[in-house]
Amino acid sequence: MLNAEKILLAVGDVSDDLIEAAALPAAPVRRTRPARRLAVCLLAAALLIASLATAMAVSDGFRAAVHAFFHLTAVETGAPADAGETPVSAALGDGVRAVYLQLDSVRDCANGVIRLQDGSALALRDGALVPVRLRETTAAVTWDGTVFRVDLFWQTGDGALALFAEGKTAADDRAWSAVPLGSRTDAVALLLSAGRQEARRERFLLLDLETGATSDPLALCGADGADFTFESGAPDGGAALLRRGEALFLCDLRAHTLRDVDALAGAAADAAWFVSADTLACRIPADGGFAVLTVPLGGGAPAARFSGLQEYAAGSGGMIFTGGRYGLDVAAGGSAAVCDFLTGTRTPIADFAFDANAFVGLSPAGTRLLFARFGGEDGLGLTQLGLLDLETGRFRAFDRAAGECRPGESLGWFDRRSPLLTSAGGALTVYRFS
Amino acid sequence: MEDSEIVGLFWARSEQALAETAAKYGAYCRRIALDILRSPEDAEECVNDAYGKAWDAIPPHRPERLSTFLGKITRNLALQRSLRGRAQKRGGGETALALSELEECVPARGEVGDALDAQTLATALDAFLRAQPARARRLFLARYWYLLPVAEIAARCGLSESSVKSSLFRTRSKLKIWLEREGFSC
């Protein structure tokens, strides 16, 4: 038996309380996807969340002292048995409806566009599926002795890019992907990678969608890009957050400057993310917990926003960092509050309890929190789904009838505002919250 | 139904115990198995086997926490299945990757002895993990107990992959020193 096997097996016998505390909130991901593809999707989602988090202004509604949780009495019972390829809509009350789609050859979805296996694409408009044309950009990039042949498809709509972009080379551990850079529709971040997991290396380039030309932002800053990995893009696409080892750097894509985030924050940050186009939030480990401060990128002193935070763990609660402007602070008993890292405000959610089977995630537009509760027997075991609109403070959730709804395979976002549940056989459910 | 009542059904040899276990902890066990095996069919078989193991173990066992008792059985069965797949050159997925990462923890002066009692190693690991910062401990167990891919841990924790990797690297480095200091080498 291998030594590492002994350690791995022995890890299985550590104390129950450690195992319970390590249980992570369920993630809205396709569990059966290959890891590389999953990583690309998660990266894209994180980028969208970070880059678009503060695109919309905070309304008066959000400034209310408390968010109200409203548990709808309607229960989702799934698509009608005779539903064909025409979308079917079912009202769940209070401005919430489920739109059921059945397509035989769904490949993937991005920002409201559904790509089919044959390369064609559809969009859901006014309750009907309409064909849309995807544009194609190709490029050949050489890095680390390998030629990466990039072939990506895209479309602009809803104010953001719908991007389908990932591929492999002949070498098994070499891949490329592209992710949107905030609201930019002229260029995307092209990420080349080699190696897996701990040994993974990455190269960050800019790819012009019209011409297919690439440029090296780090070289323009006078830096060697070999050791950097891409973290996220600013909401306006004017800057990118990069990492080299444990150090974070801010790369200004217009002024061609590279700045150390620790120097900007005046403290050692273990994580950072954009909370607006011109503001970066930095997480600072301190006193066994974390403080969060914001850094104005145009100049000025950092501002303390929160302190004494603990990262969320089942049972003991803590902060769920969503990668965007808002986080969910959960108390040990399950009561929760939305924290706005940009302003430092904390808004409790009335009549709501979070638990180990619950999940929250921020929308690509950064203005809605998806809430899901798991525990059922089928597929993801999704038993409850809801959405907190951070602009209006409305938090609506409904139950799903056990055994009647199609078992879910993945939960995520259909577009910038609407949750999407995918099921086996090309069944998609888009949830619209007015 | 309360855990104590379910355990009572096991002790009474009532098959209702299995139905209640499946109803309360089926999704939890399936999630553990699916995260390790990445195959719904394999995960389902593994969970059913776990119920059988629990039936055999209770009585005489009376678990304090039924959830982690079932979770440990499920994890062990899923891991064994994954290791068998690796031995049969079927890849091994996250298990193979996790093993290659843990190779870094093996003390340099020798091997973890064959005669080593697994429970002794588990006890040492327990003490080691309790000495680590809460976040590092949580990330380590997410990777090596739940066998989640780094990207998924990062997404679930709201961290970057780089942060997760850095933390895992540091913890593994500390573990190697800890194991050497505790005498886990020939």
Cα–Cα distance, A141 to A150 (Å, whole number): 8
B-chain residues near A311 (CB < 8 A): 134-135, 138, 157
Does residue B43 form part of some domain? yes
Q: Are residues B85 and B105 in the same domain?
A: no
- Report the alpha-carbon distance of residue A181 to residue A135 in Å, rounded: 18
Alpha-carbon distance of A4 to A10, in angstroms, equals 10
The percent of residues above 90 in pLDDT, for chain A, comes to: 46
Q: Is the dihedral of CA A416, A417, A422, A425 positive or negative?
A: negative
Position A50 scores a pLDDT of 35
Query: Cβ separation of A8 and B26 shorter than 8 Å?
Result: no
Q: Say if CB B160 and CB B154 are below 8 A apart.
A: yes
Which residue in A4, A15, A39 is closest to B102 by CB distance? A4
Q: What is the C-alpha separation between A131 and A4, in angstroms, rounded? A: 52
- Min distance B75 CA to chain A CA atoms (Å): 7
Judged by CB atoms closer than 8 Å, whether chains meet at B155 and A374 is answered as: no
Answer yes or no: is B24 within a domain: yes
Q: What are phi and psi of A18, to 5 degrees?
A: -65, -40
A144: in domain: yes
| Residue B105 and residue B52 share a domain | no
Q: Which of B149, B160, B163 is facing A38, going by the closest CB pair? A: B149
* A172 within some domain: yes
Specify the DSSP element, H or E, that contains B16.
Answer: helix B16-37
Q: Do B104 and B87 have their domain in common? A: no
Average of per-residue pLDDT across A302-310: 95
CB count, 10 Å around CB of B77? 23
> Looking at chain A, how many residues does it have?
434
Note the pLDDT of residue B157. Answer: 74
Residue A218 confidence (pLDDT): 95
Nearest-Cα distance to chain B for A24, in Å, is 6
Residue A63: pLDDT above 60? no
Cβ contacts of A288 on chain B, cutoff 8 Å: 133-134
Domain containing residue B116: CATH number: 1.10.10.10
Name residues of chain B where pLDDT drops below 70. 86-93, 107-118, 158, 185-186
Q: Which residue of A has its CA nearest to B100?
A: A4
State pLDDT tens for residues A69-113.
888 888 998 887 666 678 999 999 889 999 999 888 888 889 999
Q: What is the mean predicted confidence (pLDDT) over A186-211? A: 88
Q: How far apart are CA B4 and CA A10, in angstroms?
A: 27
The pLDDT value recorded for residue A25 is 59
**For testing contact with chain A, the best of B62, B86, B145, B148 (most A CBs within 10 A):** B145
Cβ contacts of A322 on chain B, cutoff 8 Å: 158
* Percent of chain B that is helix, strand, coil (3-state, to 5): 75, 0, 25
Tell me the shortest Cα–Cα distance from B12 to chain A, in angstroms: 25
Q: In terms of CA atoms, which chain B residue is nearest residue A22? A: B138
Tell whether A399 is covered by a domain: yes
Integer Cα distance of A428 and A122 in angstroms: 13
Contact at 8 Å (CB) between A411 and A380? yes
Q: Does A237 score more than 70 pLDDT?
A: yes
Question: pLDDT at position A201, please?
Answer: 83
Q: Is the pLDDT of residue A171 over 80?
A: no
The token pair that represents B101 in the structure block: 């990462």
- Please say if the pLDDT value at position A377 is more than 70: no
pLDDT at B32 (0 to 100): 86
Angle, alpha carbons A125-A126-A129 (nearest 5°): 45
Q: Does residue A3 fall inside a structural domain?
A: no
A91, part of any domain: yes
pLDDT at A187 (0 to 100): 96
Q: Which of B91, B115, B145 is the last residue of a domain?
A: B91
Specify if B186 maps to a domain.
Answer: no
Are residue B8 and residue B77 in the same domain, yes or no?
yes
Q: Structural domain of residue A48, as residue ranges?
A: 34-433
Q: Which of A17, A24, A312, A383 to mutate against chain B (most B CBs within 10 Å)? A: A24
Most confident of A282-286, A319-323, B150-154: A282-286
Q: Provide the number of CB pairs (under 8 Å) joining chain A to chain B.
A: 184
Q: What is the pLDDT of residue B111?
A: 47
Q: What CATH number did the domain enclosing B12 receive?
A: 1.10.1740
User: Rounded mean pLDDT of A35-64?
Assistant: 37
**Length of chain B measured in residues:** 186
Shared domain for B27 and B57, answered yes or no, is: yes
Last residue of a domain, one of B45, B68, B91: B91
Cα gap A354→B106, rounded to integer Å: 40
Burial class (CB within 10 angstroms; exposed 0-12, middle 13-18, buried 19+) of B153: buried
Using CA coordinates, name the residue in chain B closest to A378: B27
- Predicted pLDDT at A44: 40
Q: What is the model's pLDDT at position A98? A: 94
Does residue A15 lie in a domain region?
no
- Closest CA of chain B from A42, distance in Å: 7
Instruction: Place A251 in a pLDDT band, splitting at 50, 70 and 90.
Output: very high
Q: Residue A18 falls within a domain, yes or no?
A: no
* Cβ–Cβ < 8 Å for A105, A117: yes
Domain holding B174, by residue range, is: 100-181
Partners of B125 on chain A (C-beta within 8 Å) are: 7, 10-11, 14
Q: ipTM beyond 0.90?
A: no
Position A409, amino acid? E
Total number of domains in chain A: 1
Q: Which long-range contacts (CB under 8 A, 24 or more apart) does B25-28 make?
A: B25/B66, B25/B67, B25/B70, B26/A377, B27/A374, B27/A375, B27/A376, B27/A377, B27/A381, B28/B67, B28/B70, B28/B71
Query: What one-character DSSP code corresponds to residue B148?
Result: -
Distance of alpha carbon B157 from alpha carbon A46, whole angstroms: 12
Is residue A243 helix, strand or coil?
Answer: strand
State the Cα–Cα distance between residues A432 and A179, nearest whole angstrom: 25
Last-in-domain residue among B67, B91, B115: B91
Q: How far apart are CA A177 and CA A229, in angstroms?
A: 13
Chain B residue with minimum CA distance to A50? B158
Tokens 């086997």 belong to B49
pLDDT of A277 above 60: yes
Residue of A nearest to B37 (CA): A32
Question: Structurally, how many domains does chain B consist of?
Answer: 2
CATH (domain of A195): 2.130.10
Measured CA to CA, the distance from residue A336 to residue A339 in angstroms comes to 10
* Other CB atoms within 10 A of residue A408 CB: 25
- Answer yes or no: is A2 within a domain: no
